[in-house]
Chains A and B, each alone.
Chain A
């Protein structure tokens, strides 16, 4: 579909270098395993892997487009067919859950290295797909690829130390960070690190600037709207939320709540443990809440909004052509419609044209009563119920005001995944619809 006949020969050079880099990287890794750690068997496995990368590299550079290593068409088609917002969202949640539950397995250096290489190989094989390469290689999207790998790396670094510390704390020993309370002089120990950091960052930035030109499209035109029109990448999580909420909530209220919630965090987290060292077991609730908000909601929605949302904000699989003619059925229904028309088989309550103002307000309230009851139960009734049940201990320690702020922030954060689930299962559009006030929720 709209294939560029020269695409594979264009991308072959890049892929040749990419796989050669993987080969060298794993060759060095094998050498270090062998010489420094004496792990001959493992070194052999990674040498074989490096050899395989070398073969992929030579295939890419062979000059024949048909030999460029790529994912089979069948696999790509299957991925495109299977992927959708539901599978993507549930899949990332499931992946994060598995990584979290079995974290002591996944932080092992050999396991992490295997996963890292698997991701890189998959990435390389995918780059031979024109539709994939087109989106990933867009200059402004390159930082997101970097972000994903950096986040994975640093999450590994942190979790590895947290696993060790948690085991130590469980045995009654202090965390690793407490073992060494030696002090060193800032000159030279910190000042030199800073200098090396500055040189490294400058070099990295220069190479990036030389290799990748900054994007510059056609001159601005207020009459030619691009399809899709996207905000800068760091706001694409917010733009993705527009699928489920109106702009007043997704674009104004929720972002403000994110900022407010982040600021409130140190005053809500009453747990004194886990201050100044990596730990998960000592602060599981705070950890899971933050990771759910940051990794699951913020980061994965940015990835979804950037790489998988095409023209008309429709969902496209990673190897799918972004056609503006893709048709998606929109059969979403408001809750008032579901309640009055579908379940009670009645028309929506409507006030007469000449009805006095109080009667019109009463009609709106009656019409929206199912949604208002649901929202009332969720935001007003649920916090006290939680306070006397599962959050009982927290409520006692936090006090009324702190608990209420925490519970409401939490419920508002969860309003996003809940609305997603309602949309997917019931085609629910709005819970409350008051066009008289432009208020849809």
Chain B
């Protein structure tokens, strides 16, 4: 007890936490205003809005799973090498010999769970009519985040470089070659011909842009790796910030007007 008090009275502790423990009403308010991680929240909130049967917690769980994916993903990046030579072997080693290889399980199941919780979050927001004014735009941001969640999962699906991975990505990306006008098997691409030279071929169409090659190969692995680890997470992080900001600005947590 005495040690705890000494620590809490030390200059270091007081420089981090500017006020006493949140045990009384005043300090419970102050903590929300002075803590960086907590200031995302309001100080007080509609009791009804945080009832479990009303809100289901699915948005928060999705955000938590995104953080789990980030942490486990960064740790996996230390180990995994996205090349044809090493990708499969590294995953094999994660399964069989590496300590903490369970990080891969956490990452994969967390990703599946995140897709599901995103859908459930959208489902709740729809069923309570919370997309209605003034929250229309935040619903739009949410739909983009839903799409990006699926793309994150899709790009990550390729990285183990096993049969499951490349054929799932092959089937998924084959759609892109049927893009109207921009896919070489798509409707209307015949019209994009200048002086007898086809503009859209299997080396210049939408699928090529996605895969970086005509088939799922090393270029695709590199492209999906960068999209999965850097590009999409950055965009998601930005949109998440906007999403949370707008929850506060558009009338707070949902509930009857």
Residues of chain A at the chain B interface (Cβ within 8 Å): 140, 143, 146-147, 150-151, 154, 157-158, 161-162, 174-175, 177-178, 180-191, 193-194, 197-198, 201-202, 205-206, 208-210, 212-222, 224-226, 229-232, 234-235, 238-239, 246-248, 250-253, 259, 262-263, 265-267, 269, 271-279, 283, 287, 290, 294, 434, 436-440
Contacts and interface: CB of A to CB of B under 8 A. Distances in A.
Chain B, interface SS category:
helix
Contacts of A272: 132
Contact of A181 (B46, B120, B165, B179): B46
B36 to A, nearest CB: 14
Contacts of B102: 209-210
A146 to B, nearest CB: 7
A439 B28 contact: no
B216 interface: yes
Interface string B153-183: 1100100111111111011101111111001
Nearest to A276: B256
B92 A216 contact: yes
Interface centre among B53, B115, B167, B216, by most chain A C-beta atoms within 10 angstroms, is: B167
B32 A251 contact: no
A228 to B, nearest CB: 9
B45 interface: yes
Interface stretch (B103-111, B225-233, B234-242): B103-111
A200 to B, nearest CB: 9
A222 B68 CA distance: 33
B3 interface: no
Interface string B178-208: 1110010111111100000000000000000
B43 interface: yes
A207 to B, nearest CB: 10
Contact of A277 (B22, B129, B150): B129
A266 B38 contact: no
Contacts of B244: none
B163 A201 contact: no
Contact of B187 (A157, A248, A267, A278): A248
Nearest to B116: A147
A269 B132 contact: yes
Contact of A438 (B41, B128, B150, B187): B187
Given A140-B164, A220-B88, A234-B115, 19 more contacts: A154-B120, A177-B54, A178-B256, A183-B46, A197-B57, A197-B61, A197-B64, A214-B104, A216-B164, A219-B163, A222-B216, A248-B187, A259-B147, A262-B146, A266-B140, A276-B255, A276-B256, A290-B126, A438-B188
A266 B131 CA distance: 6
Contact of B132 (A150, A222, A224, A266): A266
A146 B44 CA distance: 34
B39 to A, nearest CB: 10
B53 A276 contact: no
Interface residues of B, number: 99
Contacts of B17: none
A115 to B, nearest CB: 19
Contact of A146 (B46, B106, B116, B167): B116
Contacts of A436: 190
B255 A143 contact: no
A259 B133 CA distance: 19
Contacts of B153: 232, 234
Interface of B: 22, 25, 28-29, 31-32, 38, 41-48, 50, 52-54, 56-57, 60-61, 64-65, 68, 88, 91-92, 95, 102, 104-106, 108-110, 112-113, 115-116, 119-120, 123-124, 126-133, 135-136, 139-140, 143-144, 146-147, 150, 153-154, 157, 160-168, 170-172, 174-180, 183, 185-191, 215-217, 254-257
A150 B177 CA distance: 35
Contacts of B126: 290, 294
B42 to A, nearest CB: 6
Nearest to A160: B53
Contacts of A276: 128-130, 254-257
A434 B180 CA distance: 14
A229 B167 contact: yes
A212 B120 CA distance: 23
B165 A231 contact: no
Given A187-B31, A248-B180, A252-B176, A220 B120 contact: no
Nearest to B127: A158
A157 B47 contact: no
A198 B68 CA distance: 10
B187 A437 contact: yes
Contact of B186 (A187, A232, A248): A248
Interface centre among B60, B123, B186, B256, by most chain A C-beta atoms within 10 angstroms, is: B256
A114 B53 CA distance: 20
A34 to B, nearest CB: 24
A266 B136 contact: yes
Contacts of A185: 25, 28-29, 32, 43-45
A188 B56 CA distance: 18
A247 B109 contact: no
Contact of B180 (A214, A215, A253): A253
A77 B221 CA distance: 44
A232 B172 contact: yes
Contacts of B115: 143, 234
Contacts of A178: 256
